[in-house]
């Protein structure tokens, strides 16, 4: 059994609320198919979905890169958009600039970034105002996990 890197790339459209979540749904399906533990899958899906929703809610468009490495999962969400002027502030629970239309859909509580932190082992955000944002998340795969391939 040789270790290979499995990776996928998806596009995310800003303000396309009808399709928002499709990409994370794919990520979740892949993980389920590969036989990862359901609780682990749920945490990864939540982190991925929060990042995807941030592109839909706050940016113009973006991409999601998902890679399964030997001991970690890596999700990189990159967008073209307004960027985040103060990342520490954005990371605070409850901080949100989401407009009314987003709040009416049940989002915009300012909990997405903290929740991504909670569900990942490493969260790295870099952003340039007026250009866009890159969110990188690393999640260690459970050690007990033995996947048959």
Partner 1 sequence: MQLWEIKGILEAELLWEPVDLQLEIETAEAADLMSDVLSQSIGGELLLTGLINSQVIRTAEMVDIKAITFIHGKRPDAKTIALAQQKGILLLTTNLFLFEACARLAMRGLTGSSGTIW
Q: Which residue has the tokens 């899906």?
A: 45
- Spatial neighbors of 25 by CB under 8 A, at least 6 apart, are none
Q: Among the candidate windows 7-15, 20-28, 65-73, 75-83, which touches ligand ATP by CB under 6 A? A: 75-83
Contact 139, 120 (CB under 8 A): yes
| Residue number with CB closer to ligand ATP (34 or 115) | 115
Which residues, other chains included, contact 29 with Cβ-Cβ below 8 Å and sequence gap of 6+? Answer: none
Print the binding letters for residues 50-79 with partner 1: x by CB under 8 A, - otherwise.
x-----------------------------
Stretch that binds Mg ion, among 6-14, 61-69, 109-117, 124-132 (CB under 5 A): 109-117
Q: CA-based diameter of the chain, in Å?
A: 52
* Helical pair 22-33 and 38-58, crossing angle rounded to 10 deg: 160
Q: Which of 49, 125, 132, 137 binds partner 1 (CB under 8 A)?
A: 49
38 binds partner 1 (CB under 8 A): yes
**Per CB under 5 A, 112 contacts Mg ion:** yes
Size of site (CB under 6 A) for ligand ATP: 24
- Residues 66 and 18: their CA atoms lie apart, in Å, by 22
Q: Which residues bind ligand ATP (CB under 6 A)?
A: 50, 54-55, 57-59, 79, 81-84, 90, 95-98, 107-113, 133
């Amino acid at each position: 059994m040789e270790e290979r890197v499995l990776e996928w790339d998806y596009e995310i459209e800003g303000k396309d609320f009808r399709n928002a979540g499709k990409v994370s749904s794919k990520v979740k399906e892949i993980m389920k198919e590969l036989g990862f533990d359901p609780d682990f899958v749920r945490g990864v899906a939540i982190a991925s979905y929060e990042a995807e929703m941030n592109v839909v809610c706050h940016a113009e468009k973006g991409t999601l890169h998902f890679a399964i490495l030997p001991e970690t999962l890596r999700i990189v969400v990159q967008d073209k958009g307004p960027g985040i002027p103060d990342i520490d502030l954005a990371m605070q629970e409850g901080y949100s600039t989401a407009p009314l239309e987003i709040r009416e859909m049940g989002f915009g509580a300012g909990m997405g970034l903290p929740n991504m932190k909670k569900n990942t082992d490493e969260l790295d955000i870099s952003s340039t105002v007026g250009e866009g944002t890159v969110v990188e998340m690393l999640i260690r795969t459970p050690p007990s996990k033995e996947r048959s391939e």
